[in-house]
Structure formats: structure tokens, C-alpha cells
Amino acid sequence: MHAQIIHNDRLLELAKARLPALTSASLYGRGVFTTLAVYRGRPFLWPEHWARLVAHAERCGVRTGHFDQETVGRALVRLIKENGVEEGRARVTLLMRAVRGVWRDRSAGGLETDLLVMTGDARPAPEEGLSLTLSPYRLSTLSPLTGVKSVNYLEHVIGWEEAHARDFHEAVVLNERGEIAAATMANIFWVTRGTIHTPALATGALAGTTRARVIALAEELAFPLVEGTYDTSDLSDADEIFLTSAARGVGLVTTYDFHRYTVAAGSVAVRLHEAFRQLTLHGGEEM
């Protein structure tokens, strides 16, 4: 994480930032966030990230207050400039301050929601490609937070840590029905006999901004793509696998448990990887 952050409308040194102790965020985890890529010193896909953040805030009962796409976007650009970020990531978080629930702060007043904006370095892509395993943990489609990027993110972190403890970069997560949903911190795609497959959102997959852009790129390149319901046997039959996220872009998988995949020039996954890279060469949006 970089030295300075935005807290509400102020630029602060990270070490000097302070949040109130008794809030809906600290008591119940009532907050949402989005992580976006920074290319050429600009935030990438910011309008899409803000739209999803607002939608998820509504589902979690987090009020956006006076924050909107334009004002938060300006704060984001300011922070990117102050921290000197050319290639990296940013995280925008909305934390509900007003307490609702069994514990209430009757003296609470002022702001209902805190805004935090922070930046960090890009996650380096492993030269050997991504290694993938099957997570022992399952996602529940019955949860009210399914598909929401909330600050209740510990399940994802624990799943990611478990995979890393076994020397894998990521892990495939199934839902309670045994359907493939996603990776712990990314969306998953695979190619079988020229057709791209990815889990439908009904499986519990996050509606990733990079996922949506890759689906659009596949259509532009006339690659057949199916969003559906799949089990692990479908993934085992894949010719190529790749992950998508704001932090990774399009990450090519070269190992899935005992399967090995060759990154072949001109293949569907490689062409999508290159098409996405070309998009990032122009940087993000002007603010």
C-alpha cells in the first residue's frame, strides 16, 4: 500500500488516518469495496466499477451519501497522482458509519458513510503462468452476500491462503451444489474445442468488470462463448484456462492440479490476453 490515502474528502498520510470505533462497518462488516487497475497513471474501467459499487452498496444497506462517480473519481485521480502510480491498483471502499442492528450508538451524528481510497503496486504476473488447484471450501448461493464485493472478505482470503500454502497461485471454488463458481479472487474461463466457457452469475460468480470486458472482447473477436453451469469434469476437459480480475487482467493458467497447459501463440486464450493488453495500453479514463 502506498504512503497516502483519501479519507472522505481529505488527502492523508496512511499512518495518520483515523476511523471511529463504533460503526456498522466495525461491528457488522457493513461495507463494500472495489479494486481497479491503474494503467498509464489512470484508473481503468472506473464508471463500471462505480456502478457496481453503488449496486452492491444498495444490497448491503450502505448509503453512498454525498459521494458520487464524479467526486470519487476526482479523488481517485488525485491520489494516483500524489502517490506517483503509473502501473498499479486502487481500492475504493464505502464503510457504513451509522449503526443499525442490535448495537446502536445513540449519540452518533455527522457522516453516515466513510470513503477510503488507497493505491498499491501492481501484482506481478508469474513468468511460468498461473497454477490452479481445487479449493476445499465452498461458496453458498443462499447467502445474502453472494456476488457482493463486501468487506466481509475473509472467506476469500482464507481460500486464497490455503491454496498458497500448497504452492498454488489460485483455487477453483465450487458452490454448495458442486458447480464451478469462480476462483478465490478472480473469475474463471476455459476453452474447450474452440468454445469459451465461464460460470453463469447464478452459480455465485462475481459480476467482475474485467469478466464483462473479456466477454465483450470475445464477441468482437467472434469467439463462441457460453455462460453456464459446470462441474469439475468440464474443467478437466479444457484445452486452456484463464482467470480475470482487475488485479491480474487476463491471467493464463499453465497448471491445474495434475494437468499442464501450453501457452500457444494464436490460441483463443492468448488472443484474448493480447486484445485485453491492447486496451490497457491506452490507460484509463480521463476525469
21 and 116 co-located in one domain: yes
> Does 286 reside within a domain?
no
Domain containing 142 — which CATH number?
Answer: 3.20.10.10
Low-confidence stretches of the chain (pLDDT beneath 70): 100-111, 283-287
Cα(97)–Cα(8) distance, rounded to whole angstroms? 12
In a domain, 249, yes or no: yes
| Domain presence at residue 287 | no
Domain assignment present for residue 285? The answer is: no
Same domain, 140 and 262: yes
Q: 75-93, pLDDT tens digit by residue?
A: 999 999 999 999 999 999 9
In 3-state terms, what secondary structure has residue 191? strand
pLDDT at 257: 83
Cα 31 to Cα 130, 169, 239, distances in angstroms: 30, 27, 39
Dihedral of CA 79/80/82/83: which sign? Answer: positive
CATH number of the CATH domain containing 82: 3.30.470.10
The predicted pLDDT at position 193 comes to 95
Residues 104, 163, single domain; the answer is no
> Do 102 and 211 fall within a single domain?
no
Q: Looking at the domain assignment, is residue 237 inside a domain? A: yes
| 136 shares its domain with 116 | no
> Is 204 among the domain residues?
yes
| pLDDT at residue number 159 | 97
- DSSP label of 122: P
pTM of the model: 0.92
Residues 167 and 53 in one domain: no
- Shared domain for 26 and 64, answered yes or no, is yes
Within a domain: residue 65?
Answer: yes
Residue 49's domain comprises 4-121
Task: State which of 121, 138, 156 marks the end of a domain.
Answer: 121
**Domains: count for the chain:** 2
Residue 190 within a domain: yes
98 plus 222 within the same structural domain: no
Question: 160 and 233: one domain?
Answer: yes
- Same domain, yes or no, for 94 and 25? yes
pLDDT of residue 15: 87
Tell me the per-residue pLDDT of 186-219, one tens digit each, with 9 for 90 and over.
Answer: 999 999 999 999 999 999 999 999 999 999 999 9
Q: Among the three residues 94, 121, 148, which one is the final residue of a domain in this structure?
A: 121
Asked whether residue 95 falls in the same domain as residue 158, the answer is no
> What pLDDT score does 60 carry?
93
Query: Are residues 108 and 150 located together in one domain of the fold?
Result: no
Give the end of a domain, one of 91, 121, 151. 121
Q: Burial level of 178, CB count in 10 A (0-12/13-18/19+)?
A: exposed
